[in-house]
Amino acid sequence: MVLSVFLFFFNWLLTTGYWLLTMIDLHTHTLNSDGELLPAELWRRAQVKGYRYLGITDHVDASNFEAVFFRLKAAALSLNRGEAPVIIPGLEFTHLPPALIGPLTAQARALGVPLIVIHGETLAEPVAPGTNRAALEADIDILAHPGLITLEDAALARERGVFLEISARKGHCLANGHVARTALEVGASLIVNTDSHGPGDLITTQQAKRIARGAGLTETAFQNLSADVEALAQRLAGM
């Protein structure tokens, strides 16, 4: 009896391909901002790459966050029908004056947005100084590509339960090593995201692991990261 149950379950894993669906990426974009793909095509391409959770977090500010969220929520409702990856609709507030981050993220939470990312102080763009601190003082989930984040801000991220991003994206990845070292020193949570804008930006779990190792994480540190990100994705997906 036990053997038959095992064989049934193993066959289900093989036929569905679920055993391959391991990648979690909570920072991607569609043509609802500056991405190239519709949510449905991004979802399908992520499925082929082995994604289990896909956060779609299009760029927003005060002018468009409500409309973008309703579009992404509609896409999630349409596509989340039992097949992986599970879409988590979210927003990335981008290049805001730091004083606006708290009020706008509060409005987004009131709207029901489950996943909020802030466009951090990347080395690749002229993000306003003070963005990292204002983001960490607000109600957010992920501080994307936080650049040369300070130990004090990384400690605040730990206290607030905010994940600091190791980025797979060109330019934003320049400070990955610093972000990883600083986060590990104070015990802040890390996440590897792609910041995908096109189909070529999506990665596999193995590639994510290589990026994390390249940033200085040990095998054990990557396993801890993966467990933390799994718990975050399940919480955001309402599981």
User: d(Cα 209, Cα 214) in Å, to the nearest integer?
Assistant: 8
pLDDT in tens, 100-158: 999 999 999 999 999 999 999 999 999 999 999 999 999 999 999 999 999 999 999 99
pLDDT in tens, 196-207: 999 999 999 999
Would you say 118 and 143 are in contact if contact means Cβ atoms under 8 Å apart? yes
| C-alpha distances out from residue 202 to 46, 48, 60, 180, 195, Å | 7, 10, 21, 21, 9
Q: How many residues does the chain have?
A: 239
CA-based Rg of the chain, rounded to a whole angstrom? 18
Beta carbons within 8 Å of 149's beta carbon, 6+ residues apart: 120, 121, 132, 143, 157, 164, 175, 178, 179, 182
For 170, other C-beta atoms within 10 Å of its C-beta total 10
DSSP per-residue string spanning 181-229: HHHHHHT--EEEE--B-SGGG---HHHHHHHHHHTT--HHHHHHHHHHH
In-domain check, residue 11: no
pLDDT in tens, 17-73: 443 469 999 999 999 999 999 999 999 999 999 999 999 999 999 999 999 999 999
50: left (phi over 0), alpha (psi -120 to 50) or beta: left
In-domain check, residue 9: no
In-domain check, residue 6: no
Whole-prediction pTM: 0.91
In-domain check, residue 223: yes
**For 63, how many CA atoms within 13 A lie in the half-sphere containing its CB?**
5
In-domain check, residue 202: yes
**For 146, how many CA atoms within 13 A lie in the half-sphere containing its CB?**
35
Can you give the CATH number for the domain in which 147 is found? Answer: 3.20.20.140
Q: How many domains does the chain have?
A: 1
Tokens representing 195 are: 């910041």
Q: Give the rounded distance of the alpha carbon of 65 from its chain centre.
A: 18
In-domain check, residue 182: yes
In-domain check, residue 200: yes
In-domain check, residue 228: yes
Can you give the residue range of the structural domain that contains 35? 20-236
